[in-house]
Amino acid sequence: MGRCLGMKRPWWGGTIDGERQPSLVSHNVGSMDKKVVLITGCSSGIGLSLAVRLASDPEQTFKVYATMRNLAKKERLLESVKGLHKDTLDVLQMDVTDRQSILDARDKVAEKRVDILVCNAGVGLMGPLEAHSLDSMKQILEVNLLGTIQTIKAFLPGMKAQRNGRILVTGSIGGLHGLPFNVLYCASKFAIEGACESLAVLLQHFNIYVSLIECGPVNTNFLVNLTKAELGDPSLQHVDARTLGLYERYLHHCSYVFQNAAQDTEDIVKVFLDAMQSPSPAFRYFTSGAVPPLTELKVTQPDGLRYISAMSKLIFSPDEQ
Ligand SMILES: NC(=O)c1ccc[n+]([C@@H]2O[C@H](COP(=O)([O-])OP(=O)(O)OC[C@H]3O[C@@H](n4cnc5c(N)ncnc54)[C@H](OP(=O)(O)O)[C@@H]3O)[C@@H](O)[C@H]2O)c1
């Protein structure tokens, strides 16, 4: 279904943390020859780690435009790069739900081109569907779906004109199979799969590669930042008792999985680097090193019933943990 990465030795042979990192190329790169990378959602998590890694390449292979919707949050990023990256890092304001801010950020790119666009910004919404307000549902679709599409749209004419480019999108296993109590999140990430696949078919004629980096749980602020109905919230008062009981079980499952199986952002960054570096990148990369078995079921059992019963058993079976 896609390329499986993560378990094998990193292609550059080194580690992300700690000691000086090996170069991504074997020679110094002049300022005009740098790969220009623009990343959305760099205030924390995957976006921040990726921006730091690329801006820290000892051979200065990349010029990174790390964007975030709220520049008041840029200190964490700047502290992570320790002020040593004047030539490789710029921080720009960009809210992916605000078309003008996307265009303003694009126009501030000094090189007047972007070689690699990383659409990473995203939010979550968790709870029984009956508890979601219309505003909260619109908000997640505006960020995850329309925000990603608007961002790609703004940079597409430039990439087409230069007949060259990479578009990398932070995908989710929640975009490949349905997770209970994540109706809107899954809807947004499934939609992104379709949008990217549609674009990929066309854009190969422009030497532009689209890749989805499919993540399972990752240790970031995502769970803290997501909009979640807490047990006891007024929004849940009209939800039936059976649904609430299943939701409670789901919340236990979720915290168990994040505590025991979440990847670190460095693992995700390695996969992004692999996709960026490959001469012929895959459309899908799985960050956990293998296609997850439940994802596989979607392909091998297309009537969908095996998946639904396996996922239900995994999450709601009382013997599960
Ligand atoms: N963590 C996981 O388990 C996991 C699993 C699968 C996929 N993902 C995906 O990974 C991506 C990054 O998430 P993360 O795990 O790194 O979580 P995170 O630490 O919460 O980062 C999310 C980033 O998106 C930004 N953002 C939210 N709304 C935005 C907007 N309107 N415009 C611009 N930026 C916006 C946030 O900015 P603020 O600080 O301003 O909110 C933050 O920088 C998301 O697309 C998420 O769906 C995460």
Asked whether residue 296 is marked as a ligand-binding residue, the answer is no
The whole-model pTM stands at: 0.91
Top mutation candidate among 38, 44, 94 for ligand 1, by most atoms within 8 Å of CB: 44
What is the CA(220)–ligand 1 centre distance, in A?
9
Residue 236 lies in a domain: no
Nearest CA to ligand 1 atom 8: 172
Which amino acid is residue 9, in one-letter code? R
Whether the Cβ atoms of residue 24 and residue 278 lie closer than 8 Å to each other: no
Q: What domain range includes position 110?
A: 3-228+264-302
Question: Tens-of-pLDDT digits for all 321 residues of the chain?
Answer: 455 443 332 222 223 233 333 333 334 566 668 999 999 999 999 999 999 999 999 889 999 999 999 999 999 999 998 877 889 999 999 999 999 999 999 999 999 999 999 999 999 999 999 999 999 999 999 999 999 999 999 999 999 999 999 999 999 999 999 999 999 999 999 999 999 999 999 999 999 999 999 999 999 999 999 999 999 999 999 999 999 999 999 999 999 999 999 999 999 999 999 999 999 999 999 999 788 899 999 989 999 999 999 999 999 985 544
What is the CA(303)–ligand 1 centre distance, in A?
32
Residue 134 lies in a domain: yes
Residue 249 lies in a domain: no
Residue 298 lies in a domain: yes
Task: Count CB atoms within 10 A of the CB of residue 136.
Answer: 16
Taking the C-alpha atoms of residue 108 and residue 142, their distance in angstroms, rounded to an integer, is: 24
CATH number at residue 161: 3.40.50.720
Residue 319 lies in a domain: no
Residue 252 lies in a domain: no
Q: Is 151 in the pocket of ligand 1 (CB under 6 A)?
A: no
Residues identified as active-site? 185
- The tokens describing 171, both together, are 């995908």
313, exposed or middle or buried, with CB in 10 Å at 0-12, 13-18, 19+?
exposed
Taking the C-alpha atoms of residue 64 and residue 199, their distance in angstroms, rounded to an integer, is: 24
Residue 7 lies in a domain: yes
Residue 251 lies in a domain: no
Number of domains in the chain: 1
- The vertex-302 CA angle with 195 and 184, nearest 5°, equals 45
Beta bridge mates, 11: none
Beta bridge mates, 38: 65, 117
What is the CA(45)–ligand 1 centre distance, in A?
7
